[in-house]
């Protein structure tokens, strides 16, 4: 199954009764395996988690540590941009040149990279004096 199909399918399982905004994410890891996630909201709103976070957690739990491609989809007017926190989460496991496709349910796609989504990313090198 393609990343596009996997993300579109898992989006349907999102638990988003508060925002009504369902998001699906699929990532491919260096092993070739595909991991999926959807947003899981909570009545205590800050406890909700994003689709990307779910996919990344599944990847790490399975023993993979490197993202080679990512795909995110929502029913948005323009291709859904990952939130700031998810950009940092992607950057933890993906090199800057890793392709991220942002998509709409209607079929729109915007291809970008982890580096373009998070320019000037905070990284381990910034802690070298500590």
Tell me how far, at minimum, the Cβ of 59 lies from ligand THU, in Å: 16
CA–CA dist 108, 118 (Å, integer): 22
Tell me how far, at minimum, the Cβ of 37 lies from ligand THU, in Å: 8
Question: Is 52 labeled as catalytic in the residue annotation?
Answer: yes
What per-residue string of b and e applies to 115-126 under the rule 16 or more CB within 10 Å gives b? bebbeeeeeeee
Tell me how far, at minimum, the Cβ of 125 lies from ligand THU, in Å: 26
CA angle at 24 for the pair 31 and 1, rounded to the nearest 5°: 45
Residues in the chain: 130
Active-site residue identified among 52, 69, 109, 128: 52
Nearer of residues 119 and 129 to ligand THU, judged by Cβ = 119
Q: Which residues bind ligand THU (CB under 6 A)?
A: 16, 19, 21, 23, 39, 41, 48, 50-52, 72, 80, 82-83, 86
- Going 61 to 40 to 96 to 112, the CA torsion angle's sign is positive
Active centre residues (catalytic)? 52
């Amino acid at each position: 199954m393609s990343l596009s199909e996997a993300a579109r399918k898992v989006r349907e399982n999102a638990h988003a009764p508060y925002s009504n905004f369902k998001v699906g994410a699929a990532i491919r890891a260096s092993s070739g395996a595909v991991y999926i996630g959807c947003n899981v909201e909570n009545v205590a709103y800050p406890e909700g988690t994003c689709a990307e976070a779910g996919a990344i957690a599944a990847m790490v739990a399975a023993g993979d540590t490197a993202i080679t491609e990512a795909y995110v989809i929502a029913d948005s007017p323009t291709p859904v941009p990952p939130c700031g926190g998810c950009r940092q989460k992607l950057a933890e496991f993906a090199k800057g040149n890793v392709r991220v496709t942002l998509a709409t349910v209607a079929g729109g796609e915007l291809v970008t990279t982890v580096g373009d989504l998070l320019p000037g990313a905070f990284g381990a090198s910034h802690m070298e004096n500590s």
